[in-house]
Amino acid sequence: MREMHAVVHGKVQGVWFRAWTRDVAREMGVTGWVRNLPGGPVEVTAQGSDDDLDAFLARLHDGPPLARVSRIETSRSAVEERFERFDVRV
């Protein structure tokens, strides 16, 4: 089990990016959370196997139909706190 932290830049707020991310994560069996950051980016913390996280990251690059992802900054580490599901944080 690994953890990926990502900051997604572009037109990602006000386009249902968080709800879409939650739905995709749950569909893929990835756990964690997503939230908006001040200034426009979206922050994601996701847990799963490296293969699952790679596939999830590829989906994040696509985003929902109204989003325009310009870049994603990522880092990975060992899991410190295990999440039971994927949630939208406020």
48, burial (CB in 10 Å: exposed 0-12, middle 13-18, buried 19+): buried
Q: Which of 18, 22, 35, 85 is catalytic?
A: 18
36 in active site: yes
Q: Which of 2, 35, 36, 59 is catalytic?
A: 36
75: which strand partners? 5
Q: How far apart are CA 44 and CA 5, in angstroms?
A: 6
59 in active site: no
> Which residues participate in catalysis according to the annotation?
18, 36
